[in-house]
Amino acid sequence: MVASIKLNSKNYQFDLTKAIDISIPLRASKSNVNAWYINEPRIEPEEFEGFTACVSKGASINFNNIFFNPHGHGTHTECVGHITEKVHSINQNLKQYFFLAELITVAPEKQNDDFVISKKQLQFALGNKKRDAVVIRTLPNTREKLSMQYSNTNPPYLLEEAAVYLREKGIKHLLIDLPSVDREKDEGQLLAHNAFWNTKGKLRLDASITELIFVPNSVEDGGYLLDIQLAPFENDASPSRPVLYKLID
């Protein structure tokens, strides 16, 4: 079913039946994707004085508690409140959910002992395109990303110059298939986070970073309609389901 939407004073068409979910589901398993030195998520039935709220154990309902960390256990969208002393909620600051996005594929470059994404790489991939959001798929891109245990692996990350470039280009929403846009161990500098949200100037409260996505190789680079579906948590970050729709020429 073809629908149309007006973004940035221009009409775009897309097919509602061809949604591309680029989130990683959360599972109560040691094979769930994991970062930041925490245990796996837990999904457990509530216990009521010896009564277990689980149909397979005699209850009439399944009534589970879920224990997880949005930053370390799957696809999540965060706002500047992730790095500020003042509390900022993603639920209060993300009020628009559809954006014009560009999907790009980048092979991080070796820099000393790290692999990084540079300004030059992003400039080459984006060119003169005007977009609200950029979705970065890194190479190599294998299904191991769905269950990767990232702690102490020094994953690739964005250089500060790359985050500055995205901010100055007007990119409001940055999505990436890594656990962070910053180096795993950087002594708390968080250079890319700070640069993207402009913490040394006027805070970009309406800008977001989404991490731990997964874009299958079958999805072509190019322009998409992006729908950021967000769980309404009053927190700096929330589990999310970003969905892409290929734009129809």
Contacts of 148 (CB under 8 A, 6+ apart): 33, 34
Residue 160 domain-assigned (yes or no): yes
Q: Within a domain: residue 58?
A: no
Query: C-alpha distances in angstroms, 114 versus 154, 156, 197, 234?
Result: 7, 7, 23, 35
Residue 147 falls within a domain, yes or no? yes
- What confidence tier does 7 reach under pLDDT thresholds 50, 70, 90? confident
Label residue 161 exposed, middle or buried (CB < 10 Å: 0-12, 13-18, 19+). middle
The vertex-208 CA angle with 224 and 38, nearest 5°, equals 110
Q: How far apart are CA 217 and CA 144, in angstroms?
A: 13
Residue 62, in any domain of the structure: no
For residue 150, the enclosing domain spans: 2-26+70-248
Residue 165 exposure: Cα atoms within 13 Å on the Cβ side: 18
Provide the CATH number for the domain around residue 91: 3.50.30.50
Q: Is residue 120 part of a domain?
A: yes
Establish if 52 belongs to a structural domain. Answer: no
**Residue at 91 is within a domain:** yes
Whether pLDDT at 249 is above 80: no
* pLDDT at residue 9 is higher than 90: no
85: CB partners within 8 A, 6+ apart:
none
The reply to whether the predicted model has a pTM over 0.95 is: yes
User: Region 179-196: what's the mean pLDDT?
Assistant: 98
Residue 212 lies in a domain: yes
3-class SS at 43? strand
pLDDT tens string 49-92: 889 999 999 999 999 999 999 999 999 999 999 999 999 999 99
Rg of the Cα trace of the chain?
Answer: 19
Identify the pLDDT of residue 81.
98
The total of structural domains in the chain comes to 1
